[in-house]
Amino acid sequence: MPPDSDSREFYLTAIAPRLTAFMKPPERKTLLARKEEEQRQDFASSIERVMAITDSESRAGREVTLEELDDVLDQIAASSSFSSASLRERVTTKHGRSIRADDLLSKVFRVLQSSETKWMIRIISKNYSPARVPETLVMSKFHFLLPDLLRFQNSIPAAVGLLGSPTIRHMPIQPAVDTCDELKEVASRELEPQAGIMTAHATYEKARSIRHCCQLAGLRRMSVERKYDGEYCQIHIDLNKSGAGIKIFSKSGRDSTSDRMGIHRALRDSFELDTAGCKIEKRCILEGELLVWNDDDGRIEPFHKIRRHVKRSGRFLGAARDSPIDSSEHLMIVFYDILLLDDIVCGLDTHDERRRLLQSLVRRIPGRTDIGSREVIEFSSFDAAERLSETFARAITQRWEGFVLKGCDDAYFSFNRSRPFIKLKKDYIPGLGDTADFVIIGGRRDAGDEHGLGIGSLWWTSFYMGCIENKDEVCRFHAKPRFRIIDTIDRHGISKENITYLNRHGYFTRAPFAKSMPEFDVLLEPTRRLQPVELFKHPFIVEVVGAGFDKPANVGYFALRFPRVLKVHEDRSFRDTISFEELQEMAQRCLEIPDDGEQEEKSWLRRLRGYEHLVDRSRTSSPSDDAVSVADICASNQSNRQQEKLGTAVESQCLVNTSLEASKRKISPEVALCGNSTVKRAKQE
C-alpha cells in the first residue's frame, strides 16, 4: 500500500467495489458515486452510507476483535516495501506467505458494521478527519511525561520503558501544574538514547525577523550554524553487532539504512571502523545532513540531485526526468551534533562540549565527510543584531538555505522550552522570500480539508497554479493562451479568507475540466497527478511566495518550494503573470552564486536593515494610518531596489496596487509589512 495518505485513499477508492463485493452490484457502484457527489462526504463516510443498507442483515462469521484488526493492519503494512524490515520479518514469521491487502480487507468488511468500516478506512488512510485526536493531551493523561518521552524516543515501548527509570518512577503521574517544569527538568537528566532506536530530533522556533531571532536568543551565546539543504540523517553505530552495525534513520523515523548504502563507505572510513584507530568503543549516535558533492565543481549540488543517489525502499522515486548521475557526483555527509558516545550521554552536555567531541571523533574526508560550519555570536552584546544581519546577508548571497542557532551552553536533551533551537531562513521574513505572480486556473474539493477549515460548505479546497506557456504570442498576436499547471496549493498554503474569496468568485466562471476550452488550453505534466476537477474560465491572479526553487519529482523544470499565496490581485491580467520560461530563468538566477557577490551582499544587508526599521515604524503608527504605513513601506523597498539599479516599472505598479489594497481582506497578514517581491527583483536584473 502507498505510504502517503492521498495515495492510500486513491488505492482504497480503486478497490472499493471489491471490498463491498457482498452487496448487490448495481447499488454498490451507483450509490457510492451518488453519495460522494450529492452528500459531499469524504470517502470513508461515503462507504459508511453505502454499507448502511446492509446493517440489518446478518454478518458472515463472528465479530472481529481489536487484536485481529491490529493483526490485519500489520499484514497490510508488511505488504508495502516502505514498511520496516522488522515488521515484515515478524509478519512473515507468523503468517508465512503474504495475502493481498484487498483480500484481507474484504474478509474484515464482511463482518463489520458500516460505522466500523468507516473508522477502519480512516485508520488505514491515517486521516481521521473530521475527528481530531489530541494525542498530546491523551498521552499526558496517562503520564504527564509521556508526550516528551515519546518525542525523545520514537518508540512507544521504549518511551513507556523510560517511565520505569529510577527517578521518573517515583514522580507523581499527574503532578501540580506549578511543579511540572521542575520535574521535567529533573526527568531530562534520566534520558539515555538507545542505539538502534530513533531519538527524536530537536524542535525549532522559526525566527520571523532579525529582531525576533534576537528575542528568541535572549542573552545566550549562540552557535550560528549553516543549514544545509539536504536530507536529515541520524546515524547509529553499534559495535556490539557483527560487522560494526550501521543504522541510519530519516527525519520521519523510518529505517533508511539500505536506501542510503551509498554513504556507508564514507562513514566507515571517517570513523575508522574495524580498525585499531577507531575511537568508538561500543556505540555512537550522531546527526548530520546527507548531500550530493560535485568533485569537478567543488560544491554541494542542489537538493533535487539526491533523488538519483538515494533509493526509497529499494526504488528510485521521482527521478524519471532527472539527468543521469555525473561521474563526479557522489554522496557526502555533514555532521553537526553527537548525542551518544559509548556510555556518555552527550545530549546532556552543552553544545560547546558536543562540538569539541564531534571534532575529535570525525575524520574529515574532502567531499565525503565534514563538520558543519558555524559562527559564534554573543547575543548579550549591543551589536548582536548587526553581526547577525551581516552574517545572514552573506549566507543569502552564497545561496545557503539559512541558519540554525543553538545555545552554546544548552543541552540537546531538555524539556525546557524557554531555550529553543532557532531556525532562520529568508522566506520566514515577510518580503524576503522568492515571490512571483501566477494564475490559479482550477480547483478540487477534499472533504477532509473542508471539515478542517471549518468555514462552511466549499466548492474547492485546493487550487491549481500555473504559468502561461505562450506569453509572447498572446501579448503580440492575441493568441489563445496556453497554461502549464505546475503545482497545487491546499489549505496549508492559502488563508481562509482567500479560499472563501476564490470559492465565491470562482463559482460564476467554473467549468468541467478539459484540456482545451474556448478561453484557454491546459498543459498537464504526464508524470504528475495535477488535473483539477473544474477550471475557472477567467483565471485568478495570485502572488505566491516560496522557499527557493527546486525540481519537483518526475519533471525537468524548476518550481517554487513550499508555495504560499500572499494575496489575490483583482486588477491584473494573466498577461502580467510570470511565464514558464521566465520562471526557469528566475530559478537559475536565484540558485547561482552571483559574480558580484559583494554588491549583492550589501543589497541584502540594506533590505534586512530596512525591514527592521519598517517594523518599528508600523508598530508606532496609529490604526488610522495603516494604509499610509504600508505605502511608505513599499516606497522604502522601492527606493532600496532603485539603489540596487533595478527596473522600477513593475515595482511602481505594485506600489500603487499595494497602497490601494493594503486594508482589504485579500492581503494576507504576512504581506502587511513586506512590500514587493524579491523574485520580481531577480526578474528585473
High-pLDDT (> 90) share of the chain, %:
46
pLDDT tens digits for 497-554?
999 999 999 999 999 999 999 999 999 988 888 899 999 999 999 999 999 999 988 8
* Section 631-643 average pLDDT: 40
pLDDT of the residue at 684: 42
The per-residue pLDDT for 11 is 61
Q: What is the pLDDT of residue 224?
A: 97
Q: Is the peptide bond before 669 cis (omega within 30 degrees of 0)?
A: no
pLDDT in tens, 153-185: 878 888 888 898 888 999 999 999 889 888 988
Which of the 8 DSSP states describes residue 420?
A: -
The residues, any chain, with a CB within 8 Å of residue 307's CB and separated by 6 or more, are: 316, 317, 318, 319, 322, 553
Q: How high is the pLDDT of residue 49?
A: 80
Please list, in sequence order, all residues whose beta carbon lies within 8 angstroms of the beta carbon of residue 335, skipping any fewer than 6 positions away: 286, 287, 288, 358, 362, 369, 370, 371, 372
CA–CA distance, 451 with 274 (Å, rounded to integer): 56
Lowest mean pLDDT segment, chosen from 182-186, 430-434, 571-575, 668-672? 668-672
For residues 465, 471, 473, 479, the Cα torsion angle rounded to the nearest 10 degrees is 30
- Check whether 654 has a pLDDT greater than 70: no
Strand-pair category, 245-249 with 231-238: antiparallel
Question: Any idea which residue has 503532578 for its cell?
Answer: 175
Mean pLDDT (whole number) for 624-645:
38
pLDDT value at residue 433: 87
The answer, yes or no, to whether residue 29 has pLDDT greater than 60, is no
Q: What is the pLDDT of residues 213-236, one digit of tens each?
A: 999 999 999 999 999 999 999 999
Higher per-residue confidence, 71 vs 441: 441
Query: Domain-by-domain residue ranges, the chain?
Result: 5-125, 135-188, 204-424, 434-590, 597-684
Q: Which residues pair with 362 in a beta bridge?
A: none
Q: Which has the higher per-residue pLDDT, 611 or 547?
A: 547
pLDDT tens readout for residues 323-333: 778 889 999 99
pTM above 0.85, yes or no: no
**For residue 624, is pLDDT > 50?**
no
Q: How far apart, in whole angstroms, are the C-alpha atoms of residue 226 and residue 469?
A: 37
pLDDT value at residue 673:
34
199 or 542, higher pLDDT: 542
> What's residue 125's pLDDT?
80
Per-residue pLDDT at 137 exceeds 80? yes
Which CATH number is correct for 434-590, 3.90.1150.10, 2.40.50.140, 3.10.20.30, 3.40.50.720? 2.40.50.140
More confident residue, 597 or 58: 597
CA distances to 147, 202, 427, 568 from 232, in Å: 23, 12, 20, 35
Strongest mean pLDDT among 152-161, 337-346, 666-675: 337-346
CATH 3.90.550.10, applies to 204-424: no
* Mean pLDDT estimate for the chain: 82
Q: Are 345 and 413 in contact (CB under 8 A)?
A: yes
Q: How far apart are CA 253 and CA 247, in angstroms?
A: 12
Per mean pLDDT, which of 9-23, 143-157, 346-360 is the most reliable? 346-360
- Residue 208, pLDDT > 60, answer yes
Residues 364-415 have pLDDT tens digits of 999 999 999 999 999 999 999 999 999 999 999 999 999 999 999 999 988 7
Mean pLDDT value of segment 179-198:
87
pLDDT at 495: 94
CA distance 331 to 301: 10
